[in-house]
């Protein structure tokens, strides 16, 4: 799967909420609409390239039989959290009362379905939460990156995703 194919195979939706929404409720709502999904903390998403890379690596690991899980969305979370240890990666990406989150869907969800699901959950779409900004770069220490420079963080995150395979 190439980068442009990942954009079709997976969808990325930035969301804000007023009230806490549980990951299980989000996954159930997207499942009812015909999609697999993985909600994650927005602060652990360091740009669209980070999401695409995590999805591509997860898909490849499953295809090669080297995955830590047999579930594509769990595997995406592993790579997104930049850790070969599933428990560590999941603790980094899991929702814990966050008001800002990113939902990864498979396949990429249509706009009508996204709008309907988000409305049913009381979520408001905000795809700016996906972008790597200066304030997000300041959170890169969560992944063990010692820089706040947006360009440096962007490259370092992609390297960390690639190194997950070596950690296992």
CATH number of the domain that residue 13 is part of = 3.30.2380.10
Domain total of the chain: 1
Residue 2 clears pLDDT 60, i.e. is over it:
no
- Residues 106-124, mean pLDDT to the nearest whole number: 96
* pTM, full prediction: 0.92
For the stretch 127-163, pLDDT in tens is 999 999 999 999 999 999 999 999 999 999 999 999 9
Contacts of residue 143, defined as CB under 8 A and 6 or more positions apart, other chains included, come to 44, 46, 81, 82, 92, 156, 157, 160
Residue 165's pLDDT is 86
Residue 8's pLDDT is 53
For the stretch 84-103, pLDDT in tens is 888 999 999 999 989 999 99
Residue 105's pLDDT is 97
Q: What is the mean pLDDT of the chain?
A: 93
Nearest CA to 109 among 3, 6, 11? 11
Domain of 99, in residue numbers: 3-167
CB 5 within 8 Å of CB 11: no
Residue 168's pLDDT is 67
């Amino acid at each position: 799967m190439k980068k442009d194919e990942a954009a079709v195979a997976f969808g990325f939706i930035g969301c804000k909420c007023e009230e806490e929404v549980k990951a299980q409720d989000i996954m159930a709502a997207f499942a009812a609409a015909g999609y697999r999904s993985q909600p994650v903390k927005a602060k652990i998403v360091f740009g669209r390239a980070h999401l695409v890379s995590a999805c591509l690596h997860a898909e490849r690991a499953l295809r090669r039989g080297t995955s830590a899980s047999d579930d594509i969305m769990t595997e995406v979370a592993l790579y997104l959290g930049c850790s070969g240890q599933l428990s560590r990666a999941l603790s980094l990406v899991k929702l814990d009362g966050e008001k800002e989150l990113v939902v990864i869907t498979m396949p990429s969800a249509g706009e009508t379905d996204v709008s309907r699901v988000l409305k049913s959950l009381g979520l408001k779409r905000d795809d700016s939460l996906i972008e790597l900004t200066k304030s997000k770069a300041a959170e890169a220490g969560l992944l063990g990156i010692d820089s706040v420079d947006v360009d440096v963080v962007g490259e370092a995150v992609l390297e960390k995703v690639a190194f997950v395979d070596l950690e296992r």
